[in-house]
């Protein structure tokens, strides 16, 4: 394959244009020290002529945009192990009482209470278990104390009475 003069010329121009495109451009964004600054800045005889003064370096650092000085982690650390979730389990609490006070019946020294749950009425005495999960601990004039058995937490049910029983 033979390359003629015309092809060599085009290849040369192409090579020059690629080199010109890749060649680094002069940094025009960096402020240059004025001649007044150069004359006023004291230099020692041993310092090289191209060494920048402290004033010039300060001007360069001050004029640098903040975005250029910020460091961004392009490849942050990653781990294949799963992070352990922080366990701040709340202490379980008993649900709200499903009963309302329906009244009381006294027969001698035995006191029976009526606990309403929707359309259902439960009759209980002190020490009885209602619905398999509530125990009647104390029957007072102003309130009834029940214990939620799965958690052992006491709850009180107001009776609405303010007068003590005789």
Burial degree of 124 (CB within 10 A; 0-12, 13-18, 19+): buried
Per the CB < 8 A criterion, the answer to whether 146 and 155 are in contact is yes
pLDDT class of 27 with cuts at 50, 70, 90: low
The answer for 152, left when phi > 0, alpha when psi is -120 to 50, beta otherwise, is left
Domains of the chain, start order? 100-158 (2.30.30)
Beta bridge partners of 101: 115
The 120-124 sheet, strands edge to edge:
100-107, 110-117, 120-124
Residues 61-72 have a mean pLDDT of 62
Residue 46 CA to residue 53 CA, distance in Å, equals 14
Residue 127 CA to residue 146 CA, distance in Å, equals 9
Per the CB < 8 A criterion, the answer to whether 146 and 134 are in contact is yes
| pTM tops 0.85 | no
Pick the closest to residue 133 from 159, 105, 90, 98 (CA basis). Answer: 98
Tens-digit pLDDT profile for residues 73-126: 788 877 777 777 677 778 889 999 999 999 999 999 999 999 999 999 999 999
Q: What's the pLDDT score for residue 62?
A: 61
DSSP letter, residue 165? P
């Amino acid at each position: 394959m033979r390359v003629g003069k015309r092809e060599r010329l085009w290849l040369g121009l192409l090579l020059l244009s690629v080199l010109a495109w890749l060649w680094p451009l002069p940094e025009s964004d960096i402020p240059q020290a004025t001649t007044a600054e150069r004359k006023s800045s004291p230099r020692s005889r041993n310092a090289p002529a191209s060494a920048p003064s402290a004033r010039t370096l300060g001007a360069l650092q001050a004029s640098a945009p903040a975005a250029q000085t910020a460091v961004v982690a392009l490849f942050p650390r990653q781990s294949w192990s799963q992070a352990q979730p922080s366990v701040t389990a709340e202490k379980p609490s008993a649900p709200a009482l499903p009963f309302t006070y329906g009244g009381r019946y006294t027969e001698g020294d035995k006191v029976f209470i009526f606990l309403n749950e929707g359309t259902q009425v439960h009759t209980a005495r002190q020490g009885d278990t209602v619905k398999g999960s509530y125990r009647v601990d104390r029957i007072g004039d102003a309130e009834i104390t029940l214990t939620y058995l799965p958690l052992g937490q006491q709850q009180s049910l107001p009776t609405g009475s303010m007068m003590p029983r005789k």
